[in-house]
Structure 1
């Protein structure tokens, strides 16, 4: 088990660094060069690590695994076309986030249009739920006790000066989201970027995930967030929920 833990730590470090040398991994993880080299060799044999010059990077085998995760649930086959639809309709970036182990995970992302802004978002990226519109939409439909567990486990990281970092303020925001039906991210994860998010609920009322649309603050202003984009998202989520209920 300890050997597996070390391999996972090496993979995590490679993701964070977008590639690293053996010596760099050794320094970051506090492991001897020989240990890092041995684990990398084993990971390479299974296609989980590849080399690019003298850099070690995540292997393409993970694309096989990620494809299995994204399409092993019939529900998610309903989601991806809607992410594309939202990107096309708004000409902004759209995405669908799910919750795993108290964090948000980008499952699908799409950018259509010359003006749409590319950021650090990619499928598989983890992010704090409290700092994204989709994440807050999910939190708003979890039991309070579960939200407290997530806060205890991961904290409320300040991504920008506008991020909600106090429990009471977050719970007040979640109450507003439940009343309003959608969540707003007002430069809370990336400065000069706003987003609106809407949950997708199963028939029992539990969140399966959430759609969101994001763009630069000067273009995605308050009126557009609250009037146009939110309505489009609410309609899309409702359509998916109906398809889930009667499929």
Structure 2
């Protein structure tokens, strides 16, 4: 966050810089979760004074991070600039967009790519190319827990054990459905199976009646970059022929990306 913005907020609300950053991030998170809101609504949600929320919003608006219509505030387009810098400025990610589109086209299902940051899963790409593909709450930039998703489990399976323990300790293993793995030992055993067979399965663990297959992508040092996944209605993914084709496409796609990462 730029020093000028921090100084502006600091002068308005008299906070220490680190506390200012924390509160600004909370305001941005609330704007994201609500898809925009009024000052009073944000103040109630965040349990902050109206004046404090308004000061943070005013500073964010001055720098293009927030836009407003009257008393209603929403995220600004400045975030697209930073998002583009992340996606297109990282050679590891530049290969992925076309691969996700190809997976969606070839399978007739929804395809996505997730990477891990700070113990959470971030959707970098999500694509639906077929009328039969199921629309879900997934979108670029969405943040999810790793343990109930196919791509997330594929990532966890290729992180060091101590890192997996840290993530579980920090975020827990919340139940999203009756099928979510919420026991540490059970999850660790599942991660062992994923490493052995090369792919992960989410069988109605995050969304009822939805199933997904995930495959990790490793860099030239063998460290996990992220994971592709293909998801759809459980009854379709359980079809042996369809499922086998999805697994084959995912494994082949991940292998192609890994080769590009090695030789680029």
Q: What interval of TM-score do these two structures reach, taking the shorter chain for normalisation?
A: over 0.9
Alignment of 1:140 with 2:157, yes or no, is yes
Choose which of 233, 236, 258 in structure 2 pairs with 1:241.
258
Counterpart among 193, 207, 215 of residue 176 in structure 1 = 193
Are 2:247 and 1:230 aligned?
Answer: yes
**Quick one: distance in 1 between partners of 2:71 and 2:107?**
42
Alignment partner, residue 31 of structure 2: 14
Match of 1:61 in 2: 78
Aligned with 1:131: secondary structure? coil
- 1:162 matched residue in structure 2: 179
1:125 aligns with 2:142: yes
1:175-217 residue CA offsets vs partner (Å, 9 max, x unmatched): 1101110000111111111100000011221100000001111
* Runs of 5+ consecutive residues of structure 1 not aligned to the other structure: none
Residues in 2 aligned to 1:227 and 1:177: alpha-carbon distance in whole angstroms: 16
Map of 2:93 onto structure 1 = 76
Answer yes or no: is the 8 Å Cα contact 1:14–1:20 preserved in 2.
yes
Q: CA-to-partner distance for each residue in 1:6-64, whole Å, 9 max, x for gaps?
A: 11110011111111111111111111111111111111111111125643111111111
Q: Alignment partner of 1:161: what SS? A: coil
Q: How many corresponding residue pairs?
A: 247
Partner of residue 190 from structure 1, selected from 201, 207, 213: 207
Contact 1:196/1:225 (8 A) holds in 2: no
DSSP-derived class of the 1:218 partner: helix
In the alignment, which residue of structure 2 is the partner of 1:92?
A: 109
Corresponding residue number in structure 2 for 1:220: 237
Query: Which residue of structure 2 aligns with residue 29 of structure 1?
Result: 46
Structure having the higher Rg? 2
Runs of 4+ in 1 over 4 A off after TM superposition: none
CA distance in 2, matches of 1:141, 1:226: 23
2:3 corresponds to: none
For residues 12 and 160 of structure 1, the distance between their equivalents in structure 2, rounded to whole angstroms, comes to 25
The Cα shift of 1:102 comes to 0.5
CA contact (8 A) 1:93 1:109 kept: yes
Say whether the 8 Å CA contact 1:195–1:225 is kept in structure 2. no
1:75–1:244 contact (8 Å) kept in structure 2: yes
Q: For the structure 1 residues 164 and 222, does the alpha-carbon distance in structure 2 shift closer, same or farther, using more than 3 Å as the test? A: farther
1:218 Cα offset (Å): 2.2
Q: Tell me the equivalent position of 1:152.
A: 169
Query: 1:107 maps to what in 2?
Result: 124
**How far does residue 224 in structure 1 lie from its aligned partner after superposition?**
4.6
